[in-house]
């Protein structure tokens, strides 16, 4: 009976350790040259001339992602292949060349005195934050869905 309890306790510890993100997650500072090519191209195309302050590679049990922070506090998160997942201007206006045209057009037509300060790409939608604090939700095709509460 004692052996069964020990084995069970040992299994519980192993499961707890494997389930813990903090043990398995690993953030490593890397150079810009170590980013996936797609991420480097994105930066050169839409953020050319901006000085990078930090590049991190985040490795977890089943995924890898990258985060790039610029001196002016703009942050970009990329997936393992170098596709952007989130671009956060931290209250600064973002360039719109990489944002779907229908989203940019909708914001320009309906919120003339604002700018896009954050955009997040999710599996079925885009979430856009405006400089006035409003958060908008769009479909993957860029169709306005709703104001996010």
Residue 102's H or E segment, with its range, is helix 101-110
Burial class (CB in 10 A: 0-12, 13-18, 19+), 2: exposed
Highest mean pLDDT among 3-7, 15-19, 133-137: 133-137
CA 72 – CA 56 distance, rounded (Å):
17
What is the pLDDT, as a whole number, of residue 95? 96
**Buried b / exposed e across 41-74, counting CB within 10 Å, b at 16+?**
ebbeebbeeeebeebebeeeeeeebbbbbbeeeb
**pLDDT tens profile 77-109:** 999 999 999 999 999 999 999 999 999 999 999
Is there a contact between 122 and 112 (Cβ–Cβ < 8 Å)? Answer: no
What is the pLDDT, as a whole number, of residue 8? 56
Residue 21 binned pLDDT confidence (cut-offs 50, 70, 90): very low
Token readout for 126 is: 């885009």
The secondary structure of residue 114, as a DSSP letter, is -
Domains defined along the chain, listed by start: 22-81 (3.40.1420.30), 91-149 (3.40.1420.30)
What is the pLDDT, as a whole number, of residue 3? 58
Residue 1 binned pLDDT confidence (cut-offs 50, 70, 90): low
Dihedral over alpha carbons 143, 136, 140, 66 (to 10 degrees) = 150
Mean predicted lDDT score pLDDT of the chain:
88
Count CB neighbours of 120 within 10 A. 16
Give me the mean pLDDT over the 114-133 stretch: 97
Indicate the pTM of the whole model.
0.81
Give me the mean pLDDT over the 62-81 stretch: 96
Residue 148 binned pLDDT confidence (cut-offs 50, 70, 90): confident
């Amino acid at each position: 009976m004692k052996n069964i309890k020990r084995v069970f306790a040992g299994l519980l510890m192993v499961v707890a350790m494997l389930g813990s993100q903090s043990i398995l997650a690993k953030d490593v500072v890397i150079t810009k040259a170590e980013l996936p090519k797609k991420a480097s191209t994105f930066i050169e195309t839409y953020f050319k001339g901006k000085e990078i302050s930090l590049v991190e590679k985040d490795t977890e049990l089943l995924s890898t992602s990258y985060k790039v922070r610029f001196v002016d506090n703009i942050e970009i998160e990329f997936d393992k292949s170098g596709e952007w997942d989130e671009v956060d201007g931290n209250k600064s206006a973002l360039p719109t060349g990489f944002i779907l045209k229908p989203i940019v057009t909708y914001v320009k037509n309906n919120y003339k005195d604002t700018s896009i300060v954050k955009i997040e790409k999710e599996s079925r939608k885009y979430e856009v934050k405006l400089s006035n604090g409003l958060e908008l939700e769009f479909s993957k095709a860029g169709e306005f869905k709703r104001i996010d509460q």
